[in-house]
Amino acid sequence: MGEDLAVLSVRPVDLKFAVPTFTKGAKVGQPPGLQEPSATTAFKQKMATQEAKQIYARRSQIAEFPHAWIKQRCGLRQFRCRGRVKVAMEATWACLSYNLTRWFGLKRTLQVQPA
């Protein structure tokens, strides 16, 4: 076996590869000539309006708080079981616990206020 290795000869190999060129104003990570779909362009234009920015800012108050609450209070950063049905049940229990807690809190606030 050692004799076979001695017979091997080394010859130069010609390597060819593309060198990326950067043009002014080009987006990093986007291949040249690649265009965004029209739906993406329309969404970006819609989100550039002041009204859309205000609606999106409200999203963090409405949608993100329950997710943070479920992660913190229920400890649901990772599911404890496997399988789609079991995971769905675990998520349903977490959402139900948030909704019941929220409902009891709202009910308590309404009872405190004079009618």
Alpha carbon dihedral 26, 27, 33, 35, in 10-degree steps, equals -130
- So where are the chain's domains? 42-115
Q: Is the pLDDT of residue 105 over 80?
A: yes
Q: Is the pLDDT of residue 61 over 80?
A: no
pLDDT tens, residue by residue, 24-43: 555 666 666 677 788 888 88
Structure confidence at residue 59 (pLDDT): 81
State mean pLDDT over 9-14. 64
Residues 6+ apart with CB under 8 A from 79: 86, 87, 90, 91
Structure confidence at residue 85 (pLDDT): 92
Q: Is the pLDDT of residue 103 over 80?
A: yes
State mean pLDDT over 46-73. 85
Q: How confident is the model at residue 7 (pLDDT cuts 50, 70, 90)?
A: low
Structure confidence at residue 23 (pLDDT): 56
Q: Is the pLDDT of residue 16 over 80?
A: no
Taking the alpha carbons at both ends of the chain, their separation in whole angstroms is 97
Q: CA 113 to CA 115: how far, in whole Å?
A: 6
State mean pLDDT over 99-113. 85
Q: CA 61 to CA 69: how far, in whole Å?
A: 12
Residues 6+ apart with CB under 8 A from 54: none
